[in-house]
Amino acid sequence: MTLLIRNGDIITSCERRTADILCENGQITAIGSNLQAPEGAEVIDASGKYVFPGFIDPHVHIYLPFMGTFSKDDWETGSKAALMGGTTTLIEMCCPSRSEDPLEAIRLWKSKAAGLASCDYTFHAGVTRFDETTTAALKTVVEEEQISSFKVFLAYKGAFGIEDTELYQILALAKDLGVVVTAHCENADLVSETQKRLVAEGKTGPEWHEPSRPITVEAEGCHHLMTFAEMTGAEVYVVHTSCQPAVEAITAARERGVKASIETVAPYLTLDSSYAEQPDFEGAKYVMSPPIRTKEQQDYLWQALADGVIDTVATDHAPFDYATQKHMGHPEAGKAVDASFDPTGQPANFTLIPNGIPSVEERVKLLYTHGVATGRIDLHTFVRVASTRAAEIFGLYPRKGEIAPGSDADLVIWDPGWSGIITAASHSMATDYSAFEGWPIQGRPETVTVRGKLMVKDGQWCGEKGWGGFLPRKPKA
């Protein structure tokens, strides 16, 4: 399988040049001017187009049992959607319940991707409890299952959430094993008590989701994690950071020597809290946790990206249908299937709306349209936050996130002159709605390759189900 891309404007996180790229046996083998095409090679002229390293989404949910239902995508639809949006590698959050063993869970999550994924993939191993069996299980996850990052929740009390003693033990073990701990940071008790109060006051619609998990609750969760990371010396990565106080709690810890990375997600950069306040339950489409914040917070996040304060832009892709699944939290829907996610003990309300916005297909297009095309970020920042930093943090660099000889031939030829409209009628995700319905888009991934194989050509799917492979990762020394 040989591919020659000619005359592309190659953009990485730190360099820009016009050159040819030769891809052989799944890797980039040469970059230069006037490269000769080997016999039988497919040749693509990328004149006037950008060539980016394949994009990496470090935070997705494809298989997700959650809030009494299951996420809508599987690895066939989810990976196809990712590739149609230019993302060639997904890192999925494995999210077992507290009753599940973390080793058995990671093997289950792996089995859901094998044979279906079209893009390459790996996982963060969810740790939702710590008992006498956990240390051995997690050592096996790292050494045999070749996973080098964990995931913890400081939220969803009684379901995924962990206690402080468990948090300390997980971080201490992670430090010893050389793995990164990714964390959802909120104060679970404050969320639970605030939700109970609001529902008791008759405030049951989706517009009350954000007030139940305000900025102060997220910032406190980030400060809490930083304290434990400082005490244990563990490396941490805060997922879906939505606001200035949360970012500042992390950057203050960085100044004290804590090794902490910051992720935000595409919905926080493009949507604001008014979307969740739409009438007639339309706001349920935009319920995720932490919630979407005000326009002022959105502006702050863009500046933090431009300044290099925020490391990555992910999605927290968690796809649920609006017509059925999101309506589980409609005030007239009755009781939830899974009462563990209802801290209020009341009939259906906003606490039962499955959290998440389907966005894996739109992340890179939104980031380019609302970031690069508007001048908020430059092309190098675009590549850094959507690809390279994730590869560096999670042990995939320079195999992924780079355009260089020896790197995987994961490439995106981007047409900056293309314009179009986002619509659920044409997206590849399995959900019945798009949170960005009717939004104009500038630029698109015209051609996408995974290890040299064409998966998208001229904006159309040409990929192969099951082409994607699991990416083994080693712990940090």
Which tens digit of pLDDT belongs to each residue from 50-70? 999 999 999 999 999 988 899
d(CA 397, CA 376): 26
Q: Report helix, strand or coil for 139.
A: helix
The two tokens of residue 477 are: 């020394």
pLDDT tens digits, one per residue of 107-120? 999 999 999 999 99
pLDDT of residue 68: 84
Average pLDDT over the chain, rounded to an integer? 96
Model confidence band, residue 331 (pLDDT cutoffs 50, 70, 90)? confident
Question: Are 197 and 214 within 8 A, CB to CB?
Answer: no
Neighbours of 106 (CB within 10 A): 23
Reported as a single tens digit per residue, the pLDDT across 212-222 is 999 999 999 99
Residue 85: φ, ψ to 5°: -95, 5
pLDDT of residue 53: 99
Query: What mean pLDDT do residues 399-417 have?
Result: 98
Rounded-to-integer distance, Cα 127 and Cα 444, Å = 37
Confidence class for position 337, pLDDT limits 50, 70, 90: very low
Q: Are strands 69-70 and 460-461 parallel, antiparallel or unpaired?
A: unpaired
Residues 206, 152, 294: CA angle, nearest 5 degrees = 35
Report the greatest alpha carbon distance in the chain: 73
Using pLDDT thresholds of 50, 70 and 90, give the confidence band for residue 321. very high
More confident residue, 426 or 341: 426
Helix (H, G, I), strand (E, B) or coil at 188: helix
| Residue type at position 111 | S
What mean pLDDT do residues 184-205 have? 95
What pLDDT is stored for residue 159 in this prediction? 86
Rounded to whole angstroms, how far apart are CA atoms 466 and 452? Answer: 15
Radius of gyration for the alpha carbons in the chain, expressed in angstroms and rounded: 21
Mean per-residue pLDDT, 330-347: 68
Q: How confident is the model at residue 338, as a pLDDT?
A: 53
Instruction: Identify the pLDDT of residue 409.
Output: 98
Three-state secondary structure call for residue 394:
coil
pLDDT band for position 306 (cuts 50, 70, 90): very high
Q: Is residue 405 predicted with pLDDT exceeding 90?
A: yes
pLDDT tens digits, residue range 240-250? 999 999 999 99
Q: Quick one: average pLDDT of 20-47?
A: 97
Please give the domain boundaries of the chain with CATH numbers for all domains: 55-369 (3.20.20.140)
Q: Which residue has tokens 């606001």?
A: 243
Q: Which of 312, 218, 304, 232 is nearest to 264 (CA)?
A: 312
Residues of the chain with pLDDT > 70, as a percent, come to 98
Res 346: pLDDT: 73
Is it the case that residue 30 has pLDDT exceeding 90? yes
**b/e sequence 314-325, b meaning 16+ C-beta within 10 Å:** bbbbbbbbbeeb
